[in-house]
A and B are shown apart, each in its own frame.
Chain A
Amino acid sequence: MLRLIPRVENSTAMVLLSPVLALTLTALSAYLIFIFVLVDIPVSSVFFTLFVEPLIDSYYLSELLVKAAPLMIIGLGLSIGFRAGIWNIGAEGQYVIGGIAGSAVGLYFYDVEAVWLLPLMTIAGILGGMFYAGIAAFLRVKYQVNEILVTLMLTYVAVLFLSAMLQGPLRNPSGFNFPESRIFHDSAMLPIIWEGTRLHIGLIVAIILSLVAWFGIKKHMFGMQIKISGSAPRAAKFAGFDDNKTVWYSLLISGGLAGLAGLFEAAGPAGQLTPGLPAFYGFTAIIVAFLARLHPVGVLFSALLIALSYVGGENVQIEYNLPSSITQIFQGMLLFYFLACDILIKYKVVFFKTKN
């Protein structure tokens, strides 16, 4: 029989070992799935395309970083909210609304060349995301309505709203009725930081934001407040922390960051507003946040890992005609294993014989 015995103190060794164990188990499961699915392709070459090629080829590496940037930014915001026990599951919706709001500004000034244009779009994107998450915060604070359901329902609404905008006010007037906006003006596009690739300044912004958040959580009272609110709500009450403030801040921060990521995606790799904007980043960022154990700097690394699975997944789709949904299975499995392995931090697994 197996039995779980609580540890007196969390095991530091396991804090480091459990992600490794989770990754190993995921790779092992992936291996088994491939053996089952693949007919006449060697599993090792698929593994190479999936996990190694994106790291050694400079084009794929740049694409990996392009995909990691929004995951970092959204995951960072979510990790802050999740710490406080505020479950913003609809970052995808805030990302879309941020993208629409920022793009709308860019499209309004589509023929203007100005240095203030990109900053203005960025602010509009952040405000768009904040507004959208703010709806959930308002309903939670005023009516105690569960933020999980509200943010999620609003995600479906946001995707429909994007489609309505692209067939209506934001459609390219000379675009043959395609549901796409105009291409942004050059001064409305994000600066490229790696010549010849699509890698934009968003990656640097993500790294800076994560360091700021780390410092903020460590040094600022608010960091303490969200930590306590999440782990010991009663203690937070006795300490006189304002519950409502935690809800508002958590949702506004995560919403604002998701909105920022949405605008970066439109003004970066896309260069215009398209129906392809919602690319599931908002949902995948939930995995990113958990894999980072809700640590603002850890988010950078888990985002890279998840981005690797995206790029690798696209590659095996192109090279071996495997469906890209395989990426999603791996991401889901990785999160399962990760959550499961974390039990080793707080508990000891003991074998013992059952007495008859």
Chain B
Amino acid sequence: MNEGLFINIIIGISIASVPLIFAAIGELLVERSGVLNLGVEGMMIVGALLGFVVMSHTQNPFLAVFAAMLGGMAIASIFAFLTQFLLTNQVATGLALTLFGLGFAAFAGRGYTEETIQLITAVPIPYLSDIPYLGPLLFSFNPLVYLSFFMVYLVWWFLFKTKQGLILRAIGDNHDAAHAIGHNVVRYRVMAILFGGAMAGIGGSFLSLVQVPIWGEGMTAGRGWIALGLVVFASWQPFRIIFGAILFGGITILQIHAQGLNINVSAQYLSMLPYLATIVILVSLRIRLKNKTNRTVPNCLGRIFHSTT
């Protein structure tokens, strides 16, 4: 294999996996706080739309990504309000969020389906990217790629190295006990949900700002759901998200390259690979764990909290 193709594949994998890293690391924090938000797909598509719209009007990538983040947070706030203050069922509310987000994005984005924008391109870091081999491999990615890795680190640091992170995990494991010793369960959870929305929004914007320069209805194509699968696969451990996402990125790129090589399999069967892989990976995780219960599952995941005091 020549060097150019190898580097292209690495870059392709990174581009395919970054939206998943963003969405999954956000959801990981949400689930660590004991909340199951199934609206990731809806938050991602809203982020993809807003990023695209702002980019096409301002040509400013910072504003575009920022708008996508705010959009994800805005729609996540609906979920936060309903589940935390009106105590609705989290599964149902999350599904409603996804359906609403898909509908809203299709409706609001109907004037943008013909437009194209300038993609956010990779920014090679000066000098470092000139190092032979290592340079193109480590220092010439899109800035959002670095940001996604940094967010994973940040979430890990927050969860395991700060007092607030410890409280958040405690709330996820036993909200009644955490409440009893005086922690504000709802405030932590609302913050976590908003963070999840922000990350899903940025992840979604990556699709319409870095992967392809167009906006299309339903362009997230299930990535929000794959991100939810990744959180389970990662056993709620931040760094494993990167590993899982790269695995998916690899499968996606494999599928694209196989289509290019004219392998005698219908394109549809190859396109099934990422979805089938999600299932296979979830099953293999359970086989690896054997009959041991997964100790890292937040105990209160999906349970409703209401304090009378």
Interface residues of A (CB under 8 A from B): 4-6, 87, 89, 139, 143-146, 148-150, 152-154, 156-157, 160-161, 163-164, 167-168, 283-284, 286-287, 290, 323, 325-329, 331-333, 335-336, 339-340, 342-343, 346-347
> Whose C-beta in chain A lies nearest to the C-beta of B232?
A146
When chains A and B are docked, how far (Å) is the Cα of A144 from the Cα of B287? 10
| Bound CA–CA A335/B94 (angstroms) | 11
Within 8 A of A (CB), among B54-104: 78, 82, 86-89, 91-93, 95-97, 99-104
Given known pairs A156-B272, A161-B272, A332-B96, the reply for A325 and B82 (CB within 8 Å) is: no
**Is the pair A149, B272 in contact by a Cβ cutoff of 8 Å?**
no
Chain B residues whose C-beta falls within 8 Å of the C-beta of A327 in the assembled complex: 103
- Distance in angstroms between the alpha carbons of A137 and B228 in the assembled complex: 19
Inter-chain contacts of B279 with A (CB < 8 A): 139, 145, 149-150, 153-154
Per-residue A-contact encoding for B262-292, CB less than 8 Å = 1, 0 else: 0000101101100110110011001100000
In the complex, which of the residues B38, B99, B110 contacts A332, with contact meaning CB atoms closer than 8 Å? B99
A146 to B225, CA, bound (A): 12
Q: Does B143 contact A (CB under 8 A)?
A: no
Q: B110 — which chain A residues lie within 8 A by C-beta?
A: 323, 325
Q: How far is the CA of A5 from the CA of B225 in the complex (A)?
A: 36
CB pair B286 A336 closer than 8 Å = no
Complex formed: what's the CA distance from A163 to B266 in Å?
Answer: 10
Closest 8 CB pairs of A and B: A328-B103, A332-B100, A325-B106, A164-B268, A143-B286, A339-B88, A335-B96, A153-B275
When the two chains form their complex, are residues A329 and B86 in contact, meaning their CB atoms are under 8 A apart? no
B202-246 contacts to A, CB under 8 A, are 217, 221-222, 225-226, 228-229, 232
- Minimal Cβ-Cβ distance residue in B for A336: B96
Q: What are the residues of chain B within 8 A of A346 when measuring CB–CB?
A: 87
Q: Does B306 contact A (CB under 8 A)?
A: yes
By a CB distance below 8 angstroms, the chain A residues around B93 are 336, 339
B308 interface residue per 8 A CB criterion:
yes
Closest partner residue, chain B, to A334 (CB atom): B96
**Which residue in chain A gives the minimum CB-CB distance to B103?**
A328
Q: Please pick, from B82, B104, B232, the residue contacting A339 in the complex, using a CB distance under 8 A.
A: B82
CB pair A329–B87 under 8 Å, yes or no, is: no
Expressed in whole angstroms, the Cα–Cα distance for A149 and B228 within the complex equals 8
Q: List 22 A-B contacts (CB under 8 A).
A: A4-B306, A89-B38, A139-B282, A139-B283, A145-B286, A149-B228, A150-B279, A150-B282, A152-B225, A153-B278, A160-B268, A168-B266, A290-B92, A328-B106, A332-B104, A333-B100, A335-B100, A336-B96, A339-B86, A339-B93, A343-B86, A347-B87
